[in-house]
Amino acid sequence: MNQHCLISGGAGGMGMETARLAARHGYAVSIISLEAERDTAAGLIDDIISSGGEAAFCAADVSQETEIVSAYQAAVERFGPPTGVFHAAGIFTGALVRDLDFAAVSKLMSINVTGLMICCREAARHMSTRSGGRGGSIVNVSSMAATIGGRPGHSVYAASKGAVDVFTKGFAKEVAREGIRVNTVRPGAVATAMTRGLEADPELKKAVEDSIPMGRLGQPEEIAEIALWLMSPSSSLVTGAHIDAGGGGFNVAGSV
């Protein structure tokens, strides 16, 4: 039976590149993303299939439990229990604490934290060797923001990713004897839709790059390589870990 990689947020930059790389490594790929992103995902799926791989789209809003359950079930029915999972679905909300909007904070937490936890629940139910699964590896996307509380105005986003880190470490212990490893990758500023505004503001982009020891933004392909390593036997003793991928962290935590 094929290896099966399931990716939430698979129509976004890091998710798409992880899907492409997983397919090249022989995984059947299930893309879980919003219905509105079906057309975007279709191009990716066509590319994978035309290259001899297997891929399918499963629509889901990860802030909705029933949609997560249905998407996971559809993916399992198509390709079997996943052996690799990459949870990349997430949103960003930026505001100083004194300006926070309750609805915006609630939405961010429902996607970045609660939705990810429920995705992990479904992954464990299908992957666990105790329930007939094949075991495997779950990779949750966190952020370097969790290491310093984020840049000014990013504290809520950073808090959501801090929750991902703590949850992942505890979850990894729960399922370690069920054939499942669980880790996070913590990107810094990566060239995706979430950082697209930097391209329109050269001064802001330079300020961000100057705050990164390596002096540049990351690329989605670089995060995909880490995700695939964490899913592979090469990382067989790694669980409950956080892999920092932020070009060295932050030179300063100043305002940018």
- The helix-helix angle for 220-231 and 13-24 (nearest 10°) equals 50
Catalytic residue (one of 27, 157, 171, 250)? 157
Closest C-alpha among 234, 188, 228 to residue 20? 228
- Own/partner contacts of 41-48, CB < 8 Å, gap of 24 or more, are 41/10, 41/11, 44/10, 44/11, 44/16, 44/19, 44/20, 47/20, 48/19, 48/20, 48/23
Structure tokens at 248: 């060295």
- Residue 190 DSSP class: B
- Say whether 157 is catalytic: yes
Catalytic residues: 157
